[in-house]
Amino acid sequence: MPDLLLELLSEEIPARMQAQAAADLQRLVTNALVDRGLTYEGAQCFATPRRLALHVVGLPARQPDTREERKGPRVGAPEAAVQGFLKSAGLASLAEAKVVADPKKGEFYVALLERPGRATPAVLAEVIPSIILAFPWPKSMRWGAGSDRPDALRWVRPLQSILCTFGADTEEPEIVPFSIGGIASGDTTRGHRFMAPGAFRVKRFEDYIASLHKAFVVLDVERRKSIISHDARDLAFAQGLDLVDDEALLDEVAGLVEWPVVLMGRFDESFLDIPPEVIRATIRANQKCFVARRLGEARLANRFLLTGNMVTPDEGATIIAGNERVVRARLSDAKFFWESDLKVKLEDRLPKLDSIVFHEKLGTQGERVKRVAALARKLAPIIGADPDKAERAAHLAKADLVSEMVGEFPELQGLMGRYYAAAQGEDASVAAAVEEHYKPQGPSDRVPVDPVSIAVALADKLDTLVGFWAIDEKPTGSKDPYALRRAALGVIRLVLESAVRLPLLERVFQHSAIFAGRATKQQFVKDVSPVYASTLLSEGEKQTVIGRQVGQVLKGEKEGKRQAFEEIAINLLAFFADRLKVYLRDKGARHDLIDAVFALPGQDDLLMVVRRVEALGRLLDTEDGKNLLAGHRRAANILRAEEKKDGAGAFEAAFDPALLDKEEEQVLAASLGRVQTDTTAALAREDFEGAMRAIATLRPAVDAFFDKVTVNAEDAGLRVNRLRLLNALRDTTLTVADFSKVGG
C-alpha cells in the first residue's frame, strides 16, 4: 500500500510551537483523508526548527467507488419538481432515472448515482493546500512580494518549499501536484542551513530520514533530546560533574537545533558567590544552557553546557569562547544586581509597591501587602505562629518584586526576598516565610512546615480569593486568569497537611468587609473631590475632612452590607467544597461524601470536614453502615411520600412515647434517645469515629422496626406517631451527616 510523505520547509519555527504544529498537521491531514474514504494504517509527524513533516503509511491508491440511490418525486409530479430532481441528481433526462413502485405511495423516480473513487494523489492535491492555507498557528505572518494580496498565504515564518510524494515502496513515488503562494510541491528538500544547504531529491520516508541525517538534520525531536541529554551528562560526568536536569529547557533547546552538538564552557569561580538559583536562571533564560553541580555536592560548578547546531573544524572552540563571553557578561550583570540589591533594605523598597497596580479594582501591591500583613497577624495564633513574625514576614514578602534581580528574572520572586531578608538579619522564620508564602504552587509543590510560613501563605491566598470574590471575578469554565483554583487548592493543602483549624466563614466575612470598604472609599473620594477642588482648603485639610466623612460612610455600610458579605463567604465556601472534592478525588480518597457533610449547618472548617468525611466513609464501608444507610433511605422515602399527602413538615413534632405500641417501636425510640446523646457527646469532643460508631448501633433497631412495624397503620394516630418516629430517626442521622446526599 502506498505512503504519503509531506514536508513543509520554512524559515525558523519558534521552538515552543513545533510540537503542536506537527500534531496539528497529522490530525488535519489524516482526518481529511478519512472523511474522504481514505483510511490508513499509521501516521507519524515530526518537527525541527525548519520543517514540519508527516508520514502516512498504508493508504489506498484510490478512494472506494460509491453508489447512492436518490429518491425523486412521484411519477406525474409537477414539472418544477421533476426539473429540480434532475438538476440535483445531475441527470440529463428522466430516461436516466429508474421508476420504483411503492405499494402505498405509488410510483416514483429514483436516480442511481455512481461515483467512481478518485485517485488518492488527486484527493491529496486538493486537501493539503486547504490545510496549509488555514493552518492553526498561534501567530502567523505574510511576507514577500505576494503579501499585498488580501488572500496572501500566511505561515508562522516564510514557507520555502513543499515536498509531497505518494507511492508504494516498490515503485517510484509520484509528486502530489499542487501550488500554493507561488510554491509548487516537489520531491526535493534541503539539509542543515550551514553544513548541507544544497537541495536533494527524496523518494520515500526511509530515504528521507536517512538523507536528512547525512545532511546533518536529526528529524525526530525525541532523538535530538536524547542526544543532548546523553552528551551533556557524559561531558559533565567526565569532569566529575552532575548535570542539573531541566526538562523544559531540554524541550526548548531541542527545538532550536537540527544537529545538536553539546559543548562545555566555563565561567569565573568568583561568580559562584551569587546564589546558585540566580546563576541557573541567568544561564538558562538568556543563554538556554544547562548548569552542573560537583558530584555529590549541592553547590554549582563553574561550568555550563551549551547546545550548538554546528560541527566545526576547531571542534567548537570558537563557539565555546563566544558563549563564555556572553555568559560572563550576563553573570556580571547578575552580580551587579545581586550586590546593588543587597544595599537596599527590603522595607525601603515598600513605597514602590504603592505604584504597582495589583488589579484595577483591588488596588496596588502596597495595599495588598498591608491587608495580608494584618490577616497574617490574625491567623498566626490559630497556627501557633508568632504574630509579630507573621506580620513582619508578610510586610516584607512582596518587597523583592521591585528588586533589580526579580525585575530581570521574575521566576526568582520570593527566593530573592528570602536571600535579601536573611542578609539584612531578619529572623530565620521570617526569611523563610518570604520565600514560602507563595507555596504550595500546585498539587505537587511542597507545603511549608514553619508556622510563620503557613500563616503568611494562608493570608496571601485568602486575600487573593476574597478579593476576587468581592469584585466578582470568579473562575469560569476553563478560564481562571488569576489562578484562583490554584490558590484555593493551596489553602486546602495548607490547612489539611498542617492540621490547621480555620473557620473560613468568619474569616472570609471579615476580610470581604475590607474590600467593600476600599471600593466605597474610592467612589466616595471620586464623588466629593470635585466639590472640594474649588474650596480654599489646603490639600492636607481636604484629606482630613474627606477622611472623616469616609469613616462615617464605612461604619454605616458595614451594617448595611452584612448580607452581601455573608453571600461572598458562603459562595466562596462552596468553591472550597468543590476544590476539596477535586483534591480528595486526586488523592484517591472518597470525595462523594463531601456534600453529605457540607450540607450540615456551620461546616466551614476544612480540617473537620475532611475528618468527618473520612469517618463517614469508614462507617459506610461496614455492614452496619450500609444497612443503616438503607434504613435511612427507606425512612426518607416513606416520609417523602406521606408528606405529599399530609403536607410538608407534617411529622416534625416529637413522637408520643405513650403511643408506641409495638416493642420494636419502643426499642427504636429508646435507641434514638441514647444514640442522640452519644453522638452529640462524641461530636462535642470532635470524635467523629465515636459518633459514627454510636450511629451504627442504630442498625438492629432500625432493621427490626422495618421488619415488624407497619408504618401506615389503619389507626390515624398510630400512623402519625410512627411517621414522627421515622422523622426522629432522620434527624438523629443528621447530627453526623446528611445521608440523603450520599450517592450510590
Contacts with another protein, residue ranges (CB under 8 A): 11-12, 14-16, 49, 139, 141-148, 156-158, 160, 193-194, 256-257, 287-289, 306, 308-310, 312-314, 318-319, 321-323, 325-329, 332-333, 355-357
Q: Under 8 Å CB-to-CB from 624, ≥6 apart: which residues? A: 696, 697, 699
Per-residue CA distances from 115 to 118, 663, 672 (Å): 9, 83, 79
**Exposed / middle / buried, residue 707 (Cβ in 10 Å: 0-12, 13-18, 19+):** exposed
DSSP-derived secondary structure for 385-411: --HHHHHHHHHHTTGGGGSHHHHH-GG
User: Using CA atoms, how far apart are residues 492 and 209, in angstroms rounded to an integer?
Assistant: 51
- 48 close to 23: Cβ distance less than 8 angstroms: no
Q: How far is the CB of 22 from another protein (least distance, A)?
A: 16
Give the largest Cα separation in the chain, rounded.
107
CA proximity to 265, closest of 325, 313, 211: 325
Quote the crossing angle between the two packed helices 346-353 and 365-383, to the nearest 10°: 120
Q: How far is the CB of 322 from another protein (least distance, A)?
A: 3
Residue type, 394: A
Q: How far is the CB of 253 from another protein (least distance, A)?
A: 11
- Name which of 70 and 142 has its Cβ closer to another protein: 142
Q: How far is the CB of 324 from another protein (least distance, A)?
A: 9
- Name which of 258 and 426 has its Cβ closer to another protein: 258
**213: its cell numbers:** 541525517
- 260 close to 218: Cβ distance less than 8 angstroms: yes
Q: Which residue has the cell 469515629?
A: 689
Q: How far is the CB of 152 from another protein (least distance, A)?
A: 9
Q: How far is the CB of 427 from another protein (least distance, A)?
A: 33
Cα 677 from chain centroid? Answer: 46
- Name which of 217 and 504 has its Cβ closer to another protein: 217
User: Using CA atoms, how far apart are residues 407 and 412, in angstroms rounded to an integer?
Assistant: 9
Q: Which residue has the cell 453526623?
A: 736
Q: How far is the CB of 288 from another protein (least distance, A)?
A: 8
- Name which of 319 and 380 has its Cβ closer to another protein: 319
Q: How far is the CB of 160 from another protein (least distance, A)?
A: 8
- Name which of 329 and 449 has its Cβ closer to another protein: 329
Give the start-end residues of each E strand in 490-599.
none
Cα 735 from chain centroid? Answer: 37
- Name which of 157 and 618 has its Cβ closer to another protein: 157
- Name which of 283 and 635 has its Cβ closer to another protein: 283
What is the DSSP-derived secondary structure letter of residue 304?
Answer: E
How many helices (DSSP H) and strands (DSSP E) are in the chain? 26, 18
- Name which of 204 and 518 has its Cβ closer to another protein: 518
- Name which of 143 and 532 has its Cβ closer to another protein: 143
- 360 close to 367: Cβ distance less than 8 angstroms: no
Q: How far is the CB of 524 from another protein (least distance, A)?
A: 20
- Name which of 303 and 389 has its Cβ closer to another protein: 303
Report the sign of the C-alpha dihedral through residues 209, 214, 215, 216, in that order: positive
Q: How far is the CB of 424 from another protein (least distance, A)?
A: 25
